[in-house]
Structure 1
Amino acid sequence: MKINEFTAILGKKSVLVPYEDKHVQKYHEWMKSEELRQLTASEPLTFEEEKVMQRNWREDDNKCTFIVLDIELYKMDTANEIDAMVGDVNLFFNDPDDPSSAEIEIMIAETSARGKGLGKEALLHMMRYGMVMLNVSRYTAKIGFSNLPSLNMFHNIGFKEVSRSEVFQEVTLELHLDGQTRQELLSKTKIFKLESYPLPS
């Protein structure tokens, strides 16, 4: 999706930037991890396949992707995005009958960045971006039975379980954005700023 091609989202702990060709090498290194592939239900790809996927996702109107940067690493390393990369966050518009529905997915790949609230902030900021810029009013998430940290995080945000699949060993969660939940989302993302991308050095 090209709508976020020139957009960055600044928060207290994280910076979200569009997934660009320059990020592919580090992303590819992450996805060599069997643990991450299991958590994200991903197949192993070659580097060239990963580059093709990045280009395809950029052109696909049904996918919106940001790379998650640790804002402290980003500042320390003089605005070096690659060294500050810790994960990604995605929206998938898979329901042709409901363009206001999106599946959301968050991955914090760097183990040193987990447990610091980066994932939760990135998730909430993506939800706010989707609500304001893409008119999303219903979010779903599919999470593996064994991924307890993610399940707890989504439940704490307000997602409710709607189904579970023994075949895929995953739970489907859902959150509808009505008047109250919209206000709660805005309240949880007070430090939220849209900036032009690329960010100034």
Structure 2
Amino acid sequence: MKCNSKLKIISKNLILVPYMEKHVPKYHEWMQSEELQKLTASERLTLCQEYDMQKSWREDEDKCTFIILDRRKYELHNDEIDSMIGDTNIFITDKDIGQGEIEIMLAEESARGKKLGQEAVTIMLLYGIESINLKRYEAKISLTNEISFKMFKKLGFEEESRSLVFQEITLARNVTEEWVISLKAQYPYTVQDYIM
């Protein structure tokens, strides 16, 4: 999505930056993992296909993605690639009602178990509400991804359906003023210009 292509979002522990070509080789390396493919319901792509996908996420008006950086590591070394820990996305599924599907992937095992996924998702939820005008969210979680299921439940999402065919649970949450206030209180952030 072009609207986020020149922005970065900074929170206590994370920096979210637009998904750029320079990030693709490391992202592609992550996605060779069968575990990540299963957890994200993704297929293995060639490096060329991964570059095409990155371009699609950057240009298409119904997709918004950020690469998640470990802020502490980035501020020590000033190296985005070395600081990458995952990504978070919104796919706009119904523009008329302002509905988006939110996704999170923490690819680096060292980043897991520290509530960084929850921080990234919260920031992305708020970005979608404030910048894309989303009113409702869905999250589709693999039946085996108990950690993501629990995280979205903590964020106030409710189970809407289960698909044995796709092996996933759909969780949903309508945006309310009280929820937005609660999210902002948990993870304050700032939006700044992203200089490449």
> TM-score when scaled to structure 2?
0.97
How far is 1:58 from its partner?
Answer: 0.9
Tell me if structure 2 keeps the 8 A contact 1:128–1:189.
no
Letter in 1 for 2:153: H
Provide the aligned C-alpha RMSD in A: 1.1
**What does 1:94-113 correspond to in 2, within 5 Å?**
94-98=93-97, 100-113=98-111
Please say if residues 18 and 66 of structure 1, whose CA atoms lie closer than 8 Å, have aligned partners that are also in contact: yes
Residue in 2 that maps onto 1:81: 80
Which residue of the partner structure matches residue 126 of structure 1?
A: 124
5 Å-filtered alignment, 1:141-152, equals 141-152=139-150
- SS of the aligned residue for 1:93 comes to strand
Q: How does 1:7-156 map to 2 (within 5 A)?
A: 7-77=7-77, 79-98=78-97, 100-156=98-154
**1:184 & 1:72 partners in 2: Cα distance?**
25
Contact 2:161 2:170 in 1 (8 A): yes
Q: Contact between 2:12 and 2:187, CA under 8 Å: does it hold in 1?
A: no
Count of aligned residue pairs for this structure pair: 196
Q: Cα deviations across residues 75-131 of structure 1 (Å, max 9, x unaligned)?
A: 121x10000000000000122542x11000000000011011211111000011111
For 2:117 and 2:141, the matched residues in 1 are separated by 14
2:162 to 144, 164, 167: 164
Q: Could you tell me how far apart the structure 1 residues matched to 2:184 and 2:193 are?
A: 21
In structure 1, what is the Cα distance between the partners aligned to 2:153 and 2:62?
25
1:195 aligns with 2:192: yes
| Deviations 1:174-196, CA, capped at 9 Å, x for gaps | 11111221221222222x01011
**What is the DSSP-based 3-state SS (H/G/I as helix, E as strand, rest coil) of the residue aligned with 1:3?**
helix
3-state SS in 1 of match to 2:94: coil
Corresponding position of 2:3: 3
Paired residue secondary structure (1:171) = strand
Q: Which runs of 5+ in 1 are unaligned?
A: none
Letter in 2 for 1:7: L
Q: Matched residues in 1 for 2:37 and 2:50: separation?
A: 13
